């Protein structure tokens, strides 16, 4: 859902979240065109919590990047908690933000797979785990008015 | 569900004129040394050059360049830092040079993420230092980067060439442009590699001599640039 | 849904006394040459030895052994053929030496399949020639083979050792037994690798000289066995 | 379902399918023991068609390998057609047996991933495809009488 941004300072759009928003906009726009959608009403986005992407910034970027097909689009963002499953011992656990130093958070923020460099399975110590949920930014679905 | 990163990647390479993946079926043939040396040679011709290290589990170019902890700046994406006149991107910026035990699917995810968020300046050339083998990185670059070309490195050894040949056959079958093959670490006169390359209708780019000074030049780009190795590598400039 | 292969794998290794993965963070350091030479040296001590080539995208041991198209026999699984007195398994038996462009997840699946169906005879030693890096093959062997040990190969180069070190740190952290590190392709006196290895509280196994005759011995196991290279490698026998 | 074997010749059990059956039996037995199941009534198995595993041989091997917990177990095997999806161009297609020489069938029979060596996407020629369905032999579920 679109909320009024709490903070529209100019530092916002410079963040790398902008690049992720660009991917969503261009993918949705392309998909709509390919399917003769003349107006996109909703775009559903899932953001995994592992990456600690700032939703405000993503929303701000989405607003700025609206294409002609997105004049009235509602952007609906859902946060997905990060879950891990160890391939070595089968242990499952969830992501706890406070566990990391700022450097580590930064690395995972840009490249989530750096989790395998810095996080170990709390049960067996292995870096060989799967991020079973909550990785990355995904375009879940779009809704629109079709012209056929 | 659609991965929105894939669509934006071609966009990111719009300002890059020439994309050259330095590759080999085999490890340890000198891909990283050649990548760095070639990038520096192109720079010295007055071109704008980027260097992308995609060997995530064994990155080397930061060691060869003597470029310690750099960090990309953030500007609607990430902008590669400049070192030695090269626009330089490596996973080491984030892994802090610690072991990166990544399965192929994670390497693939990391590559896609990096390609999707990296905003290259306008570049005349982007040199990509590839990991060995025919795995995720190679397959991803082939499917994701439309104008990619390959520069393949071999050594004179049969062991190396048998693996290199597999990569070449794959690229030929997929109609991916191949700049040619550079033969590195040459110690004795032999036409074995040259003949094999010509049999495949490919270009033999240069013979790079085995040279003990190469080891000493690691970490010192000025030394690299003034080396016999660099002179041999620079012959590749005629073909790209 | 459960993958029924995982449960049977430990069973398949019950008759194997010692399992040694010849590994390195780095490609081209001589893992395959050392694997073959070591397997032959163990054979000549009168032990029963298996050799398993897990470098699926760049298999080499069949070339080093000069062992052309062999095919495992079927007996409630597959039984590795014997060549040069070694119980020998390689993907090449099935890939017919064509390019095997496998993503990591497929390499992993292929490894699991091969391990699940291969019935090794009673073996004193199984030598595994590993692919470079810290990817699927390395992680799978660590998680699937309970009594695995690692024998790590480096060259004197800083570039090689920086990658090797990452593998060693990973193995140490995971408490996987490390037989030690062999230094291959040594050209000059230097204690760099030895010192670094000892700093990590690991064993420095042997110094293997760089030797041009190695190339000529490829494909000819008798030549390998009578080489200086083999003599250097054989020192590893004291530690395994 | 168990059928009377059409051919009980002694060559049957020597095939490599035996090894796959062993995996199923040992996994099911272990799972039952861990869950206090005293008698397994049904074992559901899925066999992907890519590998062209001989169901008769698998069934024969399963019969021979019955553990004490499997005195009255019904083995229910389901064949799953093989489907491919190209990562390069998105094309999807199904497995057609007749396409391969005997050598290639043999290779894929033992190591299904050899498909990437011998099969190319019929649309774009890439070996970079996913076996989206029909790979391998899987234990789908077991039913039994629980002792608790
Ligand atoms: N022409 C050469 N002469 C001598 N040593 C070389 C030469 N080229 C590369 N090397 C050395 O060979 C090793 C492998 O080189 P590297 O660039 O890391 O290969 P790759 O990237 O293919 O794994 C390094 O130790 C490097 O210093
Ligand atoms: N001690 C040595 N002296 C000279 N050449 C060697 C030596 N050991 C290995 N080589 C050569 O180095 C190259 C890489 O060896 P290889 O066993 O294929 O390495 P890896 O399996 O680690 O990739 C081959 O061409 C091989 O002939
Ligand atoms: Mg390299
Ligand atoms: Mg992942
Ligand atoms: Mg090898
Ligand atoms: Mg698969
Ligand atoms: Ni950011
Ligand atoms: Ni069979
Ligand atoms: Zn674990
Ligand atoms: Zn295709």
Q: How far apart are alpha carbons C240 and C231 in whole angstroms?
A: 16
Q: Is the CB of C48 under 6 A from ligand 2?
A: no
Kindly state if the Cβ of C61 falls inside 6 Å of ligand 2.
Answer: no
Residue C185 in contact with ligand 2 by CB distance below 6 A: yes
User: B41 with B124: CB under 8 angstroms?
Assistant: no
**Spacing, Cα C100 to ligand 7 middle (Å):** 38
Residue D87: which of B143, B170, B173 has the nearest Cβ?
B143
Kindly indicate the confidence band of residue D4, based on its pLDDT and cuts at 50, 70 and 90.
very low
C238 burial class (0-12, 13-18, 19+ CB within 10 angstroms)? exposed
Q: What is the pLDDT of residues B4-55, one digit of tens each?
A: 999 999 999 999 999 999 999 999 999 999 999 999 999 999 999 999 999 9
pLDDT score at D146: 86
Say whether B139 and D128 touch across the interface (CB within 8 A).
Answer: yes
Buried b / exposed e along A24-62 (16+ C-beta atoms within 10 A): bbbbbbebbeeeebebbeebbbbbbbbbbbbebbbbbbb
Between A135-139, B155-159, B228-232, the lowest mean confidence (pLDDT) is in A135-139
B86 bridge partner residues: B49, B83
**H or E element that contains B126:** strand B123-129
Cβ–Cβ below 8 Å for A125 and C174: yes
CA C148, CA C16: separation in Å to the nearest integer?
Answer: 11
Burial of C14 (0-12, 13-18, 19+ CB in 10 A): exposed
- Spell out the per-residue pLDDT of chain C, length 240, in tens: 678 999 999 999 999 999 999 999 999 999 999 999 999 999 999 999 999 999 998 999 999 999 977 889 999 999 999 999 999 999 999 999 899 999 999 999 999 999 999 999 999 999 999 999 999 999 999 999 989 999 999 999 999 999 999 999 999 999 999 999 999 999 999 999 999 999 999 999 999 999 999 999 999 999 999 999 999 999 999 999
Give the pLDDT band of residue A12 (cuts 50, 70, 90).
low
Name chain C contacts of A123, Cβ cutoff 8 Å.
none
pLDDT tens, residue by residue, B104-146: 999 999 999 999 999 999 999 999 999 999 999 999 999 999 8
Is A127 in Cβ contact with C143 (below 8 Å)? no
- C210 C-beta closer than 6 A to ligand 2: yes
Q: What is the pLDDT of residue A14?
A: 67
Q: Is D42 helix (H, G, I), strand (E, B) or coil?
A: strand
In this complex, is the C-beta atom of B6 within 8 Å of any C-beta atom belonging to chain D? Answer: no
Whether the per-residue pLDDT at D5 is higher than 50: the answer is no
Q: Which pLDDT belongs to residue B70?
A: 86
Backbone angles phi, psi at B228, to 5 degrees: -60, -40
Contacts of A127 in chain B (CB under 8 A): 99, 101
Q: Answer yes or no: do C94 and D111 touch at CB < 8 A.
A: yes
- Ligand 1 pocket test: which of B23, B28, B132 has the largest number of ligand atoms within 8 Å of its C-beta? B28
According to the model, what pLDDT value does residue A24 have? 96
Give the model's pLDDT for residue C71.
Answer: 87
Q: Could you tell me if B140 and B111 are in contact, meaning their C-beta atoms sit under 8 angstroms apart?
A: yes
Q: By percentage, how much of chain D surpasses pLDDT 90?
A: 80
**Length in residues, chain C:** 240
Cα separation, D73 vs D142, in Å, equals 9
Residue B30 Cβ inside 6 Å of ligand 1? The answer reads yes
pTM of the model: 0.95
Looking at beta carbons, which residues of chain D come within 8 Å of B174? 125-126
Residues 6+ apart with CB under 8 A from C137: C54, C55, C56, C107, C108, C111, C130, C131
Residue B167 confidence (pLDDT) above 80: yes
Q: For ligand 1, is residue C133 a contact (CB within 6 Å)? A: no
Q: When comparing pLDDT for A3 and D80, which is higher?
A: D80
The answer to whether the Cβ–Cβ distance between D125 and B174 falls below 8 Å is: yes
The angle at the Cα of B142, spanning A35 to C110, to the nearest 5 degrees, equals: 100
Domain that holds residue B97: 5-239
What's the alpha-carbon Rg for chain D, to the nearest Å? 18
- Mutation for C interface: D16, D45, D103, most C CBs within 10 A: D16
For helices A17-34 and B5-12, the axis angle rounded to 10 degrees is 110
The arithmetic mean of pLDDT across residues D65-83, rounded, is 96
Count of domains observed in chain B: 1
What tokens does C186 get? 């040594």
Using the predicted structure, report yes or no on whether residue B203 has a pLDDT greater than 50: yes
Closest chain C residue to the Cα of D142, Cα to Cα: C1
User: D90 at the B interface (CB within 8 A)?
Assistant: no
Residue B92 reports pLDDT greater than 60:
yes
Confidence (pLDDT) at B124: 98
Rg of chain A's alpha carbons, rounded to an integer? 18
What pLDDT is recorded for position A2? 32
Q: Do chains A and D touch (3 or more CB pairs under 8 A)?
A: no
| Residue with CA at minimum distance from ligand 1 atom 3 | B210
**pLDDT at residue D148, rounded to an integer:** 61
The partner residues of D93 in beta bridges, in order of sequence, read D84
* Spatial distance between the Cα atoms of C113 and C95, rounded to a whole number of angstroms: 14
Q: A112 pLDDT exceeds 70?
A: yes
Is the pLDDT confidence value at A101 over 70?
yes
CATH number at residue B106: 3.40.50.300
Q: Do B113 and A136 touch (CB under 8 A)?
A: yes
Closest by CA to C28, choosing from B138, B132, B181, B104, is B132
Decide if D118 touches B, using CB distance below 8 A.
Answer: no
pLDDT in the model for residue C176: 97
CB C203 within 8 A of CB C180: yes
B176: contact with D, CB 8 A cutoff? no
Does D113 contact chain B (CB < 8 Å)? Answer: no
CB–CB of C159 and B64 under 8 A? yes
- pLDDT score of A7: 36
Residues near A51 by beta carbon (within 8 Å), at least 6 away in sequence: A108, A109, A112, A135, A136, A137
Tokens of D8: 């009980």
Domains of chain D listed by start with CATH number: 2-146 (3.30.2320.80)
- How many whole angstroms separate alpha carbon B128 and alpha carbon C2? 40
């Amino acid at each position: 859902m679109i909320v009024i941004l709490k903070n529209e300072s100019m530092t916002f759009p410079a963040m790398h979240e902008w690049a992720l928003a660009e991917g969503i906009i261009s993918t949705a726009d392309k998909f709509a065109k390919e399917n003769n959608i003349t107006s996109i009403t909703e775009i559903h986005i899932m953001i995994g919590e592992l990456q600690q992407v700032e939703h405000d910034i993503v929303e701000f970027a989405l607003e700025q990047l609206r294409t002609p097909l997105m004049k009235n689009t509602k952007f609906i963002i859902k946060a997905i908690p990060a879950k891990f499953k160890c391939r070595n011992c089968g242990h499952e656990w969830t992501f706890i933000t406070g566990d990391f130093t700022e450097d580590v958070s930064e690395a995972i923020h840009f490249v989530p797979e750096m989790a395998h460099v810095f996080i170990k399975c709390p049960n067996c110590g292995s870096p060989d785990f799967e991020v079973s949920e909550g990785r990355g930014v995904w375009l879940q679905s779009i809704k629109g008015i079709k012209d056929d | 569900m659609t991965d929105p990163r894939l669509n934006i990647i071609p966009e990111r390479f719009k300002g890059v004129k020439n994309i050259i993946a330095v590759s080999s079926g085999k490890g340890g043939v000198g891909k990283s040394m050649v990548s760095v040396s070639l990038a520096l040679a192109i720079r010295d011709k007055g071109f704008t050059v980027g260097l992308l290290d995609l060997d995530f589990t064994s990155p080397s170019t930061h060691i060869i360049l003597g470029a310690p902890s750099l960090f990309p700046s953030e500007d609607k994406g990430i902008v590669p830092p400049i070192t030695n006149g090269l626009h330089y991107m490596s996973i080491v910026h984030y892994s802090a040079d610690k072991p990166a035990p990544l399965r192929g699917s994670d390497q693939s995810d990391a590559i896609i993420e990096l390609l999707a968020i990296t905003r290259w300046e306008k570049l005349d050339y982007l040199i990509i230092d590839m990991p060995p083998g025919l795995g995720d990185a190679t397959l991803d670059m082939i499917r994701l980067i439309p104008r990619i070309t390959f520069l393949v490195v071999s050594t004179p050894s049969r062991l190396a060439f048998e693996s290199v040949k597999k990569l070449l056959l794959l690229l030929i079958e997929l109609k991916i442009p191949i700049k040619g093959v550079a033969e590195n670490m040459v110690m004795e006169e032999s036409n074995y590699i040259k003949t094999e390359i010509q049999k495949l209708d490919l270009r033999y780019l240069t013979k790079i001599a085995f040279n003990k000074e190469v080891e000493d030049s690691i970490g010192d780009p000025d030394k690299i640039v003034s080396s016999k190795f660099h002179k041999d590598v620079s012959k590749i400039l005629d073909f790209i």
